[in-house]
Chains A and B, each alone.
Chain A
Amino acid sequence: MIDEQAQALINGELDGRNSGLESAQAREIMSSDPEARQLYDDLLQLSSLLSRVDRVEPPSDLRPRILRELRRLRNTPARSASWWTAIRERMMARPLRPAYAFSGGLALGVVAALIIAGFLAKENSLDLSRLYGTLSSRIPAPASSPESSLNIATSGISGTVSVIPSGPLMLVSVDVRSTRNVDLVLEYNGASLGFVGIKKMKDNSDSLRIGKNLLSLPINGARSDMLAFEQRGPAVSPLAVRIVVGDSTLFEGVLR
Chain B
Amino acid sequence: MTGDDEDIVRLTLEGNPEAFEEIVHKYERAIFNAAFRILNDNDDAADAVQSTFLKAYRNLDHYNSHFRFFSWLYKIAINESLNSLRQRKSSDPVDAESTSSGETPEDQYRSVELGEKIQEALMELGLDYRLVIILSHFEELSYREVGYVLDLPEKTVKSRLFTARKQLRDVLLKNGVQP
Contacts and interface: CB of A to CB of B under 8 A. Distances in A.
Q: Do A and B come from one complex?
A: yes
Interface stretch (B2-10, B70-78, B123-131, B161-169): B161-169
Given A55-B29, A58-B32, A4 B165 contact: no
Contact of A55 (B33, B47, B118): B33
B25 A63 contact: yes
Interface stretch (A126-134, A138-146, A245-253): A245-253
Contacts of B28: 58, 62-63, 66
A212 interface: no
Interface in A10-30: 10-11, 14-15, 17
Contacts of B29: 55, 57-58
Contacts of B47: 245-246, 248, 250
Contacts of A74: 17
A54 B51 contact: no
B87 A70 contact: no
Instruction: State which size class the interface on B falls in.
Output: 35 or more
Contact of B98 (A14, A54, A67): A54
Contacts, number: 128
Contact of B51 (A17, A47, A247): A247
Contacts of B158: 7-8, 11
B159 A7 contact: yes
B24 A63 contact: yes
Interface string B142-179: 01000000000000001101100110110010000101
Interface in B75-107: 87-89, 96-100
A57 B98 contact: yes
B162 A66 contact: no
A155 B96 CA distance: 15
Interface stretch (A37-45, A97-105, A108-116): A37-45
B34 to A, nearest CB: 10
Q: Chain A binding site: helix, strand, loop or mixed by DSSP?
A: helix
Nearest to A46: B179
A155 B43 contact: yes
A56 B33 contact: yes
Nearest to A43: B165
A73 interface: yes
B63 interface: no
A138 B137 CA distance: 61
A69 B98 CA distance: 26
A63 to B, nearest CB: 6
Contacts of A43: 165-166, 169
Interface of A: 4, 7-8, 10-11, 14-15, 17, 39, 42-43, 45-59, 62-63, 65-67, 69-70, 73-74, 155-156, 179-181, 245-248, 250
Interface of B: 17, 20-21, 24-25, 28-30, 32-33, 36, 42-47, 49-51, 53-54, 57-58, 87-89, 96-100, 111-112, 114-115, 118, 133, 136-138, 143, 158-159, 161-162, 165-166, 168-169, 172, 177, 179
30 contacts: A7-B158, A7-B159, A11-B158, A15-B136, A39-B166, A43-B165, A46-B165, A49-B114, A50-B118, A54-B98, A54-B111, A55-B30, A56-B98, A56-B115, A57-B29, A58-B29, A58-B32, A58-B49, A62-B49, A63-B25, A70-B20, A70-B57, A73-B54, A73-B58, A155-B42, A155-B46, A156-B43, A181-B87, A246-B47, A248-B50
